[in-house]
Amino acid sequence: MMEFFKTCKTAEDVKATFKDLAKRLHPDCGGDAEQFKTMMAEYKVAFDRLKNVHVNSQGEQYERETSETAEQFADIINKVIMFEDVTIEIIGSWVWLSGNTFPHKDVIKEAGFFYSKSKKAWYYNGDNHKTRRRGRYSMKALREKWGSEVVENKPQEKLA
C-alpha cells in the first residue's frame, strides 16, 4: 500500500511529491534512512504506473509515451538537491534550476540539464529536452500556464 504517493494522479504529481519528500527525508538532510528507502521504493512503483500520464494547461489529463525511468529522475534530483542558493522548481513535466548555479554548473550539465539564456535558468525534461515550437514564454508565463512547485532548499549541514 502506498503511504507517500497515494494522492498522485499524474507524472508531474509524482515528481513534485518526490522532490518534496527527498528534501525532507534524505539522510544527508537529517532524515531517517529507512523511511527514505521506503519512499524510494514507493516512488519507483508510482513513477512506473504514472510516467505516461500528464496534465495539460487546461487541467485535462493526457498520455504521452516517455522512456524516462524513475531512477533517472531520482538521480538528477539527488545530484542537485544539496546545492545552497539553488531553487529546484517543477513546471509541468520540466525541472528548472535557478539561483546561484554557476559554482555547480559542471554537476548540473552532467545530470542532463541544459541552460536557457533567455530565462537564465537550467532545464531538464527527460528525453524530450528540445521543443519543436520555440515558444518565447517567460518563466512567469510558464508558471501561470503549467503551475509550479517550489520547495525551500535544505542544504546539507556542514561538519565542524
Instruction: Tell me whether residue 85 is in a domain.
Output: yes
HEC profile of the chain: CCCCCCCCCCHHHHHHHHHHHHHHHCHHHCCCHHHHHHHHHHHHHHHHHHCCEEECCCCCEEECCCCCCHHHHHHHHHHHCCCCCEEEEEECCEEEEEECCHHHHHHHHHCCCEEECCCCEEEECCCCCCCCCCCCCCHHHHHHHHCEEECCCCCCCCCC
Average pLDDT over the chain, rounded to an integer: 80
* Total domains, the chain: 1
Instruction: Tell me whether residue 160 is in a domain.
Output: no
Instruction: Tell me whether residue 34 is in a domain.
Output: yes
- The pLDDT tens digits of the residues spanning 88-136 come to 888 877 889 999 999 999 999 988 899 988 889 999 887 655 555 556 7
Instruction: Tell me whether residue 40 is in a domain.
Output: yes
- The pLDDT tens digits of the residues spanning 81-93 come to 878 888 888 887 7
Instruction: Tell me whether residue 158 is in a domain.
Output: no
Q: What is the pTM of this model?
A: 0.62
User: Where in the sequence is the domain holding 144, given as residue range(s)?
Assistant: 11-150
